[in-house]
């Protein structure tokens, strides 16, 4: 039977504290908590006057809810008192109410930590550990499981002599495999804390290393993968995992990953764990091994200066005088590394020398062009004569190779140098535009070389040329462009959407234009002709998943909706899910799915796709479009007697129908799960 808080429990020493009365622990309003009014110190001062404050503690627990700030305050009260029955609090950790279970478990786990810090007898700690931690670690509530992992880490840090043992550490390791993201995150953060606190966890790491690496590479949560990678790098820096282990993690990293510990990790791999005057680029074997086992992105993160890069170029020049390759790679790996490094103090003449040495190797020439394109413009400004010689040599050699990738890098470099070397850049562009279609394809995006574009050029080049002509108000030339073949489908689809937007902007969408005489009409001419071209070849070009990515852009923009069924005929479940997630006009895709179902055979029906599309329909904002598309599609399929679709696909769309639509569709249906679902929807209204 609960004891009542009565005035008799107030002592003379506390009579002056009139701000707190026992009745205030009884919430006057739903959701009210004493911590909204009183400080923990005020409550502790009050409760210390009682012989037994267990009931008051329990009332506090019931009022706190899952609010971390208030739970922390409750812990301060709980840890400052001893006049309560611990057993009754332990009983709350088994309560059916998850909130009570969480708060009481948190209190007891924190109390165990306090006992450990205070040096309380291990028998007491062990008893509470058995009664609370071992039971609640497997709780159905992930918040409680996460709290258990958090406090296990706290105990190990507070008393490593007692808890830094395999029998306790294993719980943190097991948390790494929990089905809930929050628990796995707590496991990773606990491992990281132990490492940073210099706790010896070598044995633990040896046991759970495979799981840590697996989580870093494959966890479904990108944030968790990032934390896992950071942990792996910490472990490598601390000497607890091997170089081969950290290579697995580094190999998976890209520009989107956090680079926090990257420099320290690379320094250790290349043999200098502490920053020093010695250049990391001097470890040539280490650089080669790093690239072979990771990626160019990792090499781009190597700490370096302009002086370091110049020394590295000297090494490459010496190497190339005797060898053309360093391994099985077609291009020299050191040139590939040079291509991702940045240097502002490099002599341009040295790049020219490299270029002259490698000119007979297509692969090495491509890598050298990439490296030169990354050089800071200031370097070229300081060496104008050497720059002119280098660009001239590059122009002649690239005209010989006619490689679009090399041309693209060269154009990027020319655009970067246009302000400083205008005459030379203009001369190079003029000399190449009439001789190399590949160069025109790359250069027309950055330079106006539209005069050299004829009707026999690829369609995408004519689109770029049209933009230049529109900007220069040469509308008559735009009238002469004709489209006969589809070259780069992705670029043409992007142009079609762009031209349509411009037509809307100029208000010419619904106008019929035979010959353009202003900007708006030019955009309309280009839109109409490009649209006709893609329509005429749609069935031939949208034949694979890559083509369907372009088709999705068009469909989502309200174009080529009649062809949207191709997406469901061609794409896998993962890509369809991505399209539905990104789509701003889901009903365009849904209508395509129903068109696809009109012709599908029973053996080709993918139930998972039907469930996916149906669920996205039900989550979509309801409106006339949603109702019309789903209702019309289902009605037509039922009229066609596509019985094999009733329970495998159509049942997933019932939630998108109104009650009246369900009545119409249900009529005439034979007994099936679809019919039962429709009737249930009708009853629910």
Q: 106 and 188 in one domain? A: no
Q: 282 and 257 in one domain? A: yes
Q: Specify whether the CB–CB gap between 438 and 402 falls below 8 A.
A: yes
Q: 330 and 249 in one domain? A: no
- Residue 530 domain flag: no
Q: 439 and 317 in one domain? A: yes
- Final residue in a domain of this structure, among 105, 136, 167: 136
- Residue 639 domain flag: yes
Residue 299's closest CA among 286, 308, 290? Answer: 290
* Under-70 pLDDT residues of the chain: 1-31, 121, 272-277, 343-345, 435, 619-627, 685
Residue 585 to residue 592: CA distance in whole angstroms: 12
- Residue 464 domain flag: no
Q: 656 and 596 in one domain? A: yes
Residue 268 to residue 285: CA distance in whole angstroms: 14
Q: pTM for this structure? A: 0.73
- Residue 684 domain flag: yes
**Helix/strand number for the chain, H first, E second:** 38, 0
- Residue 406 domain flag: yes
Q: 297 and 170 in one domain? A: yes
Q: 323 and 274 in one domain? A: no
- Residue 469 domain flag: no
Residue 125 to residue 113: CA distance in whole angstroms: 9
Q: 130 and 6 in one domain? A: yes
Per-residue pLDDT, 622: 54
Which two tokens mark 248? 């697995």
Per-residue pLDDT, 8: 41
- Residue 575 domain flag: yes
Per-residue pLDDT, 3: 37
Residue 685 to residue 678: CA distance in whole angstroms: 11
Residue 61 to residue 89: CA distance in whole angstroms: 9
Range of the domain at 293: 156-301
Per-residue pLDDT, 274: 59
Per-residue pLDDT, 23: 45
Q: 561 and 677 in one domain? A: yes
- Residue 651 domain flag: yes
Per-residue pLDDT, 620: 60
- Final residue in a domain of this structure, among 301, 326, 358: 301
What stretch of H or E contains 443? helix 437-443
- Final residue in a domain of this structure, among 107, 136, 165: 136
Q: 439 and 569 in one domain? A: no
Residue 126 to residue 472: CA distance in whole angstroms: 84
Q: Number of structural domains, the chain?
A: 4
Q: 201 and 76 in one domain? A: no
* DSSP per-residue string spanning 164-233: -SHHHHHHHHHHTT-SSHHHHHHHHHHHHHHHHTT---HHHHHHHHHHHHHHHHH-S-HHHHHHHHHHHH
Q: 118 and 12 in one domain? A: yes
């Amino acid at each position: 039977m609960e004891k009542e808080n009565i005035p008799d429990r107030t002592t003379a020493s506390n009579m002056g504290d009139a701000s707190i009365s026992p009745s205030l622990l009884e919430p006057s309003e739903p959701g009210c908590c004493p911590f909204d009014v009183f400080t923990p110190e005020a409550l502790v001062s009050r409760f210390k006057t009682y012989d037994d404050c267990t009931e008051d503690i329990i009332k506090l627990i019931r009022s706190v809810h899952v609010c971390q700030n208030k739970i922390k305050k409750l812990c301060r009260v709980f840890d400052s008192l001893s006049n309560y029955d611990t057993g009754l609090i332990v009983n709350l950790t088994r309560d059916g109410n998850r909130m009570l279970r969480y708060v009481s478990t948190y209190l007891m786990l924190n109390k165990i930590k306090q006992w450990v810090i205070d040096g309380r007898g291990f028998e007491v700690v062990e008893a509470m550990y058995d009664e609370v931690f071992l039971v609640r670690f497997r709780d159905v509530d992930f918040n409680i499981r996460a709290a258990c992992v958090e406090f296990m880490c706290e105990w190990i840090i507070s008393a490593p002599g007692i808890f830094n043992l395999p029998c306790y550490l294993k719980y943190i390791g097991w948390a790494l495999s929990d089905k809930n993201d929050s628990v796995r995150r707590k496991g990773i953060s606990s491992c990281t804390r132990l490492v940073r606190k210099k706790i010896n966890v070598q044995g633990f790491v040896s046991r759970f290393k495979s799981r840590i690496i697996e989580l870093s590479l494959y966890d479904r949560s990108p944030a968790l993968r990032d934390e896992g990678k950071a942990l792996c790098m910490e472990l490598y820096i601390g000497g607890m995992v091997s170089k081969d282990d950290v290579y697995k993690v580094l190999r998976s990293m890209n520009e989107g990953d956090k680079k926090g510990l990257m420099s320290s990790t690379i320094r250790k791999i290349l043999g200098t764990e502490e920053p020093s005057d010695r250049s990391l680029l001097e470890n040539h074997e280490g650089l080669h091994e790093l690239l072979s086992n990771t990626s160019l992105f990792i090499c781009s993160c190597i700490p370096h200066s302009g002086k370091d890069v110049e020394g590295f170029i000297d090494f490459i020049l010496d190497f190339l005088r005797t060898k053309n390759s360093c391994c099985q790679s077609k291009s020299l790996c050191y040139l590939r590394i040079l291509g991702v490094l940045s240097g502002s103090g490099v002599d341009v003449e040295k790049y020219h020398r490299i270029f002259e040495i490698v000119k007979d190797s297509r692969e090495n020439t491509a890598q050298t062009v990439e490296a030169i394109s990354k050089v800071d413009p200031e370097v070229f400004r300081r060496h104008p004569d050497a720059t002119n010689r280098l660009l001239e040599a590059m122009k002649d050699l690239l005209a010989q190779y006619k490689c679009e990738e090399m041309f693209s890098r060269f154009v990027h470099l020319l655009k970067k140098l246009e302000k400083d070397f205008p005459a030379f850049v203009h001369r190079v562009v003029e000399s190449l535009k009439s001789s190399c279609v590949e160069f025109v394809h790359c250069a027309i995006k950055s330079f106006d070389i539209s005069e050299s574009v004829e009707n026999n050029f690829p369609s995408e080049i004519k689109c770029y040329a049209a933009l230049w002509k529109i900007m220069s108000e040469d509308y008559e030339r735009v009238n002469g462009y004709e489209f006969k073949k589809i070259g780069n489908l992705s670029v043409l689809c992007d142009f079609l959407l762009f031209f349509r937007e411009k037509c809307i902007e100029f208000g010419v969408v619904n106008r019929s234009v035979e010959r353009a005489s202003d900007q708006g009409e030019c955009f309309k001419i280009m839109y109409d002709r490009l649209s006709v071209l893609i329509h005429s070849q749609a069935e031939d070009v949208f034949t694979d998943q890559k083509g369907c990515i372009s088709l999705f852009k068009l469909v989502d923009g309200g174009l080529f909706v009649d062809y949207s069924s191709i997406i469901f005929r061609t794409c896998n479940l993962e890509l369809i899910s991505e399209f539905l997630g990104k789509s701003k006009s889901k009903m365009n895709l849904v209508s395509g799915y129903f068109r696809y179902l009109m012709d599908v055979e029973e053996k080709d029906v993918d139930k998972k796709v039907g469930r996916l599309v149906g669920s996205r329909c039900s989550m979509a904002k309801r409106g006339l479009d949603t109702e019309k598309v789903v209702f019309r599609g289902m009605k037509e399929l039922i009229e066609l007697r596509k019985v094999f679709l009733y329970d495998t696909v159509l049942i997933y769309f019932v939630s998108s129908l109104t009650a009246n639509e369900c009545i119409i569709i249900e009529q005439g249906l034979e007994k099936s799960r679809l019919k039962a679902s429709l009737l249930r929807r009708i009853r629910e209204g």
